[in-house]
Amino acid sequence: MQEYDYIQIASLQHYQYCPRQCALMYNEQIWADSYHTKAGDILHEKTHQERIRYEKGVRIETATTVVSHRYGLMGVCDTIEFHPDTILPIEYKVGKSKSIYEVDKVQLCAQVLCLEEMTGQSITQGAIYYNQEKSRSYIEIDEALRSLTVDVLTNVHKLLFNKELPVVEKSKKCALCSLVELCIPDLTNMAVADYWQTMASEVD
Amino acid sequence: MKKMLNTLFIESPKSSLRMEGESIVLRLANGEKKKLPTLNIDSLVIRGSVYVSSRVLAYCAKHGILVSYFSVNDRMLFKIDRSLAGSNVLLRRAQHEATKAENALPVAKSIVMGKILNQHHELQRYKREYAKEDRRLIEDISKLKHQLRYVELAKDLDELRGYEGVTSSLYFKYFNDRIRKHKREFFMKGRNRRPPMDRVNALLSYGYQVLYHDMIGLVESVGLDPAMGFLHRDRPGRMSLALDMMEEFRSLVIDRLVIRLINLGQITPEDFDISASGSVRIKDKARRIFLEGYVDQKRESYFHFYTGEKLKLPHLWHVQGQLLARYLRGNIEGYPAFVVR
C-alpha cells in the first residue's frame, strides 16, 4: 500500500457518524466548523503540542504521530503513557463519560492497532479523558472492539478508494452535523426534470 | 456556519490596510482609522490606489478571505485565492469532463432556461404594474416564452446562444420603459460596454462587475474552477464559470437594482462624468450609493423551489454552487438553475 492511500484515524469517527460526511470531508475536501468542532480544537490546543515529559517514571508523550502499515492507517495520539510494563493511549473528549460512544472506542482502538504494530507490544487497555468531568474512563481493547474497528477502517478504505459520494440518507443526525448546509440533505427529494417542468409550466 | 459572502469594498484613494495585532485596520487619506470586522467577511474588493500590507494578504489567505483587486477602470487585475483549502481534484476532473464542448450542453441549457425564466419574470412584473394593456409587450413576452421551447430542443451551444441572444434583446427592448425618472438622461442605446456609452450601461457594467466578483467567490468556495464554464467557453483570463453562474441572477439582482436606484432618485444624471469621446464614468459618490444598494439587495430572501427554502441571496448563491458540484459528482441528474417566483 502506498503512503497516499493511508487513511486518517479521525476519518473512522466521521464514517461511523455518516459515510457521506466522511466522503465530503476526505474526498471533497469540504469542511465547516460548528460549536462542537471549535470546542474540540480549543481542548486539543494543549494536547496537540509535541512534548515528552516524565512523571513517576512514566514517559508521557503528547501529539505523537502513529501509523499502521498493515491497516493503512495514520493519525495523532493526544497522549500516550509509556509505563514500564504497558502502553496506555489516552484520547481527549469534550463531553461526559456517560456518553461513551462506540465511535470514541473505535478511535482509541485504531490508535492501539498502530501502537502495537510500531512497538511490537500488545496493549489491552486505553483511556478516554472527559473534559467536562476532568476524569478518565478506561476502555478494554477486546476482540469484539478490534474486529469492529477493522470493519470500519476497511469500509473507509473502500469509500475513499472508490471516490464516490454516497447519496444522502436524511436522519436526525443531520441537524447536528457541521456540514449540513454544504451537504444539503433535503435536496434529493425532487427530480431535476420535475423541477424544470414545474418552473416552465408556471410561465403563462 | 453559514457562508454569508459578505464583501468589503475598499475604494477610498490613498488609503491603506494594515494588520494591527489580530485585526485589519483601514487608514483613510485624512488619517481616520477604522477597524474592519474580519469575522464575518468572506471577501475583500480593493479598487485603485489602496496600499495593502503583505501581512493583511497572508491573513486573508489563511482565513479564506478572497481578495480581488480592480483598477480604477473596474478591470479585475488579480485575486488572491483561499490558499489550498477546499481544492478538490476529483471535482475539478469532473468539471473538466462536463465542460468539454461535447458534454456542456445540458448545464448550458439549464443556465439559459434560468436566465430566460428570470427575465420573463421581470417583464411580467413590469407589465402587471405599469403596462397591463401594452399589446406589443404582451406579444414580446409570449415570444420570449416561446424561446424556452427552442432552448429545450437546441442541438448545440451555438444554437443555444442564438436563442439566448433573441430573448436578451426582447428583454432589453423594455429596459428604457422601466426607467421612470430622468428619462432623457437615463436612456440606453442598446447594450454597450468597455467603455459604456450611456449612463444606464455604465451602471449595468459596474453592477455586473461586482456580481462577477461575487460569483468567482461562490464558485471557488465550493471547490470549482471559475475558469471552466459551460455556456461561456474557455478564454485565458476569463472566469467563464463565474460568468455562467451570473446569468440566472443578472436581471434579478443587478438590473432590478439599477432601475430601483434610478427610479428612487438615489442616483441622478449628475452622478456621471461624460468624456468628450462619449464614454461615461460613474462618480465615486454614486459608486458608494450603488454598493450600498447592492448590499441591501443581498439581504433580501428568495424562495427556492428546488430546496424548498427561503434563502438570502449569498446563501442562495452558495446553494447554487453546491447544486452544480452535486451534479458534477453524480448526485443529481441535472443542474437546477435558480428561478425566481
CA B215 to chain centre: 6
Burial of B67 by CB count in 10 Å (0-12 exposed, 13-18 middle, 19+ buried)? buried
Domain A3-166 CATH assignment equals 3.40.1160.10: no
Higher pLDDT, A135 or B55: B55
For residue range B133-147, list pLDDT tens digits in order: 888 989 999 998 889
- B232 labeled binding residue: yes
For residue range B44-85, list pLDDT tens digits in order: 888 888 899 999 988 888 777 878 887 776 666 777 766 454
Could A192 and B332 be called an inter-chain contact, meaning their C-beta atoms sit closer than 8 Å? yes
Over residues B207-234, the mean pLDDT reads 88
CB contacts, 8 Å: A195 with chain B: 305-306, 336
Could B88 and A192 be called an inter-chain contact, meaning their C-beta atoms sit closer than 8 Å? no
Spatial distance between the Cα atoms of B311 and B304, rounded to a whole number of angstroms = 7
Residue B26, Cβ neighbours under 10 Å: how many?
A: 18
Tell me the percentage of chain B whose pLDDT exceeds 70.
95
Higher pLDDT, B11 or A111: A111
Residues A127/A136, Cβ–Cβ less than 8 Å: yes
In this prediction, residue A67 carries a pLDDT of 92
> Quick one: pLDDT band at residue B2, thresholds 50, 70, 90?
very low
Residue B306 predicted with pLDDT over 90: no
In this prediction, residue A38 carries a pLDDT of 67
Over residues B240-251, the mean pLDDT reads 95
- B247 labeled binding residue: yes
- Nearest CB among A165, A196, A198 relative to B329 is that of A165
Residue B327 predicted with pLDDT over 60: yes
Spatial distance between the Cα atoms of B179 and B176, rounded to a whole number of angstroms = 5
CA proximity to B117, closest of B137, B136, B145: B145
CA proximity to A115, closest of A143, A84, A82: A82
Q: Supply the mean pLDDT for chain B.
A: 86
CB contacts, 8 Å: A178 with chain B: 1
Spatial distance between the Cα atoms of B166 and B216, rounded to a whole number of angstroms = 27
In this prediction, residue B74 carries a pLDDT of 64
CB contacts, 8 Å: A30 with chain B: 86, 88, 223
Whether A187 and chain B come into contact, CB under 8 Å, resolves to: yes
CB neighbour list of residue B136: distance below 8 Å, 6 or more residues apart: none
Query: Which cell numbers hold the place of B64?
Result: 479564506
Over residues B289-318, the mean pLDDT reads 86
Residue A80 backbone phi and psi in degrees, to 5: -130, 130
In this prediction, residue B110 carries a pLDDT of 95
Spatial distance between the Cα atoms of B341 and B331, rounded to a whole number of angstroms = 25
Higher pLDDT, A38 or B63: B63
Over residues B105-129, the mean pLDDT reads 93
Spatial distance between the Cα atoms of B241 and B245, rounded to a whole number of angstroms = 6
Over residues B255-270, the mean pLDDT reads 93
Residue A1 predicted with pLDDT over 50: no
Residue B322 predicted with pLDDT over 60: yes
Residue B133 backbone phi and psi in degrees, to 5: -100, 0
Spatial distance between the Cα atoms of B45 and B40, rounded to a whole number of angstroms = 15
In this prediction, residue A46 carries a pLDDT of 63
> Quick one: pLDDT band at residue B1, thresholds 50, 70, 90?
very low
What is the SS3 assignment for B282? strand
In this prediction, residue B18 carries a pLDDT of 92
In chain A, where the domains are located: 3-166, 170-204
For residue range B152-210, list pLDDT tens digits in order: 899 999 999 999 999 999 999 999 999 988 888 888 887 777 788 889 999 999 999 89
Higher pLDDT, B314 or B320: B320
Over residues B240-252, the mean pLDDT reads 95
What is the SS3 assignment for B189? coil
CB contacts, 8 Å: B336 with chain A: 192, 195-196
For residue range A50-81, list pLDDT tens digits in order: 688 888 889 999 888 899 999 999 999 999 99
For residue range A138-147, list pLDDT tens digits in order: 999 999 999 9
- Which residues of chain B from 131 to 170 reach within 8 Å of chain A, CB to CB? 145, 148
CA distance B334 to chain A (A): 6
CA distance B34 to chain A (A): 28
In this prediction, residue A36 carries a pLDDT of 66
CA distance A72 to chain B (A): 21
The per-residue b/e assignment along B273-312, b for 16 or more CB within 10 angstroms, e otherwise, is: eeeeeebbbbeeebbebbbebbeebbeeebebbbbebebb
CA proximity to A26, closest of A172, A162, A168: A162
Could B332 and A187 be called an inter-chain contact, meaning their C-beta atoms sit closer than 8 Å? yes
The position carrying cell 491573513 is: B59
Query: Which cell numbers hold the place of A89?
Result: 493511549
